[in-house]
């Protein structure tokens, strides 16, 4: 194939598919009880310098319990997949855990405005953007990895600076003769996903949109599932069509109810706009970032303590009513921070 153009972004988390097959070869195939605490999971599976990706989307179904634990354990020099990374990347970058990011979407909180903390680190050079992508391009990188392929052809990025700053290549398609963009596979070192339920082996069900978790789970070298609840293995076998992630892809299972707070867990609880607003307000300054982390991350031992601190059962019940549309969202500060 004739190469027409090459992006100048850094190629990361890419392996020759045969290399990846060797990794897969040593993974266990049997059912094992993988339950552990989030503290154990982060300490065992996250290493300094790892390439990390989070399941979910923006503020939806993100494993925040894992994010807080990564910060608490002071992991360093992580590279983040900025695949619609919003609150997760903002707080990981602000806390000094992440110093490199590939960006499809980052540094923003959608309607809530831009992220003061992570923008500041990029504008001052403390965190480096190493490549740019679009959302489709990034998730197709996971699809290529999940398929055991070196790349996948797409019709996005063409003609733009987003391509120039990516690590994609444009070639002449041998079938149509037209230019087509090849996005390289992305095999993250470690991925965290928050799900509605799974069994002790990691067979996981997700309610609502799956976003790109089907592909990402299959692209990950190590996958940690945090879950709202653990259910009987027999329940999985009764409705096997509901399994989005089969157990053998999973390295650890951590049961953490409300583990996505302050994010939205579809059908269970809505965004905690008060808490997100507090972060956006505090993170305008370095001191504010420290104050937030001291209070909500370093200052608590367990996720239950954190939940108490953010408003306890009263707040959680309110978020449940919001999700079920039994309460109107009142959050006048949304948009005030907007550009």
Partner 1 sequence: MSEVKYSTIELMACVAARILEDRKSVFVGTGLPMIAAMLAQRTHAPNLLIVFEAGGIGPQIPVLPISVGDSRTFYKAVSASSMHDVMMLAQTGWLDYGFLGAAQIDMYGNINTTVIGPWEKPKVRLPGSGGANDVGSLCNRTIILMRQDARRFVERVNYITTPGYLTGPGAREKAGLPEGTGPYRVITQLGVYEFDEETKRMKLLSVHPGVTIDDIRANSQFEIIIPEEVSTTKPPTKEELKILHEIDPTGIVLRK
In the complex, least distance from residue 175 CB atom to partner 1, rounded to whole angstroms: 13
> Residue 55 has what DSSP assignment?
S
Please, what's the largest Cα pairwise distance for the chain? 62
| Token representation of residue 106 | 């980052």
Specify whether the CB–CB gap between 190 and 196 falls below 8 A: no
Q: For residues 19 and 325, give the distance between their C-alpha atoms in angstroms, rounded to a whole number.
A: 49
Piece of 103-111, 217-225, 234-242, 292-300 that binds partner 1 (CB under 8 A): 103-111
68 belongs to the binding site for partner 1 (CB under 8 A): no
In the complex, least distance from residue 318 CB atom to partner 1, rounded to whole angstroms: 16
Piece of 21-29, 68-76, 165-173, 222-230 that binds partner 1 (CB under 8 A): 165-173
User: 164 Cβ partners below 8 Å, 6+ apart?
Assistant: 7, 8
53 belongs to the binding site for partner 1 (CB under 8 A): no
106 belongs to the binding site for partner 1 (CB under 8 A): yes
161 belongs to the binding site for partner 1 (CB under 8 A): yes
In the complex, least distance from residue 140 CB atom to partner 1, rounded to whole angstroms: 7
200 belongs to the binding site for partner 1 (CB under 8 A): no
DSSP string, 263-305: SBBTTTB---HHHHHHHHHHTTSHHHHHHHHIIIIIT-SSHHH
Q: For residues 315 and 317, give the distance between their C-alpha atoms in angstroms, rounded to a whole number.
A: 5
Specify whether the CB–CB gap between 229 and 268 falls below 8 A: no
Piece of 67-75, 118-126, 230-238, 288-296 that binds partner 1 (CB under 8 A): 118-126
Residue nearer to partner 1 on the CB measure, 31 or 122:
122
Residue nearer to partner 1 on the CB measure, 69 or 167:
167
Q: How many other C-beta atoms lie within 10 A of the C-beta of residue 105? A: 18
Q: Which of 215, 228, 272, 278 touches partner 1 by CB under 8 A?
A: 215
Q: Which of 63, 79, 84, 203 touches partner 1 by CB under 8 A?
A: 84
Specify whether the CB–CB gap between 111 and 273 falls below 8 A: no
Piece of 19-27, 279-287, 307-315, 322-330 that binds partner 1 (CB under 8 A): 322-330
Q: Which of 77, 285, 317, 338 touches partner 1 by CB under 8 A?
A: 338
Specify whether the CB–CB gap between 249 and 48 falls below 8 A: no
Strands 151-154 and 179-184: antiparallel
User: Looking only at residues 254 through 283 of this chain, which bind partner 1 when binding is defined by CB under 8 A?
Assistant: 264, 266-267, 270-271, 273
318 belongs to the binding site for partner 1 (CB under 8 A): no
Q: How many other C-beta atoms lie within 10 A of the C-beta of residue 216? A: 29
Q: Which of 28, 159, 299, 312 touches partner 1 by CB under 8 A?
A: 159
In the complex, least distance from residue 151 CB atom to partner 1, rounded to whole angstroms: 15
332 belongs to the binding site for partner 1 (CB under 8 A): yes
> Residue 114 has what DSSP assignment?
B
Q: How many other C-beta atoms lie within 10 A of the C-beta of residue 258? A: 23
246 belongs to the binding site for partner 1 (CB under 8 A): no
Piece of 37-45, 154-162, 195-203, 305-313 that binds partner 1 (CB under 8 A): 154-162
Strand partners, 252: 224
114 belongs to the binding site for partner 1 (CB under 8 A): yes
């Amino acid at each position: 194939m004739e190469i027409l153009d090459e992006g100048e972004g850094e190629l990361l988390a890419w392996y020759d598919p045969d290399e990846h097959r060797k990794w897969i070869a040593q993974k266990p195939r049997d059912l094992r009880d993988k339950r552990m605490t989030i503290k154990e999971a982060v300490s065992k599976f996250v290493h300094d310098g790892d390439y990390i990706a989070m399941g979910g989307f923006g503020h939806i179904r993100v494993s925040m319990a894992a994010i807080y634990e990564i910060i608490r354990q002071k992991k360093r020099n992580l590279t983040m997949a900025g695949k619609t990374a919003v609150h997760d990347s903002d707080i990981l970058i602000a806390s000094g855990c992440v110093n490199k990011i590939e960006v499809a979407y980052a540094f923003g909180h959608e309607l809530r405005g831009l992220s003061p903390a992570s923008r500041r680190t990029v504008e001052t050079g403390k965190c480096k953007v190493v490549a740019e992508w679009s959302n489709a391009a990034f998730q197709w990188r996971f699809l290529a990895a999940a398929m055991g392929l070196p790349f996948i052809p797409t019709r996005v990025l063409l003609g733009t600076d987003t391509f120039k700053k990516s690590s994609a290549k444009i070639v002449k398609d041998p079938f149509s003769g037209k230019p087509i963009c090849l996005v390289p596979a992305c095999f993250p070192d470690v991925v965290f996903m928050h799900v509605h339920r799974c069994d002790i082996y990691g067979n996981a069900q997700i309610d609502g949109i799956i976003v790109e978790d089907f592909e990402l789970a299959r692209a990950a070298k190590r996958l940690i599932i945090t879950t709202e609840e653990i259910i009987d293995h027999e329940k999985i076998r009764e409705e096997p069509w509901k399994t989005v992630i089969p157990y053998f892809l999973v390295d650890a299972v951590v049961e953490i109810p409300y583990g996505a707070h302050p994010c939205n867990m579809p059908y269970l609880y809505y965004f905690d706009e008060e808490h997100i607003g507090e972060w956006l307000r505090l993170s305008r300054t370095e001191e504010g970032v420290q104050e937030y982390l001291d209070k909500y991350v370093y200052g608590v031992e367990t996720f239950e303590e954190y939940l108490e601190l953010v408003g306890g059962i009263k707040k959680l019940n309110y978020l449940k009513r919001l999700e079920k549309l039994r309460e109107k969202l009142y959050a006048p500060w949304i948009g005030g921070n907007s550009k």
